[in-house]
Chain A
Amino acid sequence: GAGVSQSPSNKVTEKGKDVELRCDPISGHTALYWYRQSLGQGLEFLIYFQGNSAPDKSGLPSDRFSAERTGGSVSTLTIQRTQQEDSAVYLCASMRAGVQETQYFGPGTRLLVL
């Protein structure tokens, strides 16, 4: 596909369970970003990848959150022992590094922790 895709589109889980969210960036985009957005709020930066490495993890809210990227492509955001406050839309964006840098966003994964 031409755009960034994310899966699942919706996820309902019980408090305490682990979840994995997937992001497929645009082919050739070396940079990948994860954000989350709570209802009615702005975007909160979580983590940034350049290739497979994550030079900026400053936004991860706790050690329950982790992310990896393999092959410079697909990325997985894992939330362990989910809490109700983790409920949000998790957005992924990819970008081709260069002077004319623009992020392209996926549709997001809507996570609800009961």
Chain B
Amino acid sequence: DAKTTQPTSMDCAEGRAANLPCNHSTISGNEYVYWYRQIHSQGPQYIIHGLKNNETNEMASLIITEDRKSSTLILPHATLRDTAVYYCIVRVALSGNQFYFGTGTSLTVIP
């Protein structure tokens, strides 16, 4: 079962920052937070992951609260191509466990 809660859908204006929230109140100390996205008719694509510290890469930033019970994925300048379903996953690394994708947040970037 997915251990995360995400809003079902969100809209964002093109060029603005998209902030996608995720609650994971039962996260364990050794569980990482992963974000993937799935553009229509494609396989999911890895975006970013982190444990405690905030992370940034060329695609996005990940902000994890100090208590680690929630996180936010930030797309700094959303484009129409960022329209996708975004999945927040918590998982223990090196565990061989599966990734529980849940239902994700459907983000629509509006021109």
Contact = CB atoms under 8 A, between A and B. Distances in A.
A102 B102 contact: no
A31 B102 CA distance: 21
Contacts of B49: 100, 102
Interface string A19-58: 0000000000001010100000111010010100001100
Interface residues of A, number: 27
A101 B101 contact: no
Secondary structure of the A side of the interface?
loop
B4 to A, nearest CB: 12
Interface residues of B, number: 20
A100 B93 CA distance: 7
A42 B100 CA distance: 10
Interface string A83-96: 00000000101000
B45 interface: yes
Contact of B98 (A41, A48, A102, A107): A48
B43 A93 contact: yes
Contact of A45 (B43, B87, B94, B98): B98
Given A93-B43, A105-B45, A108-B43, A98 B98 contact: no
Interface of B: 34, 36, 42-46, 49, 87, 93-94, 96-104
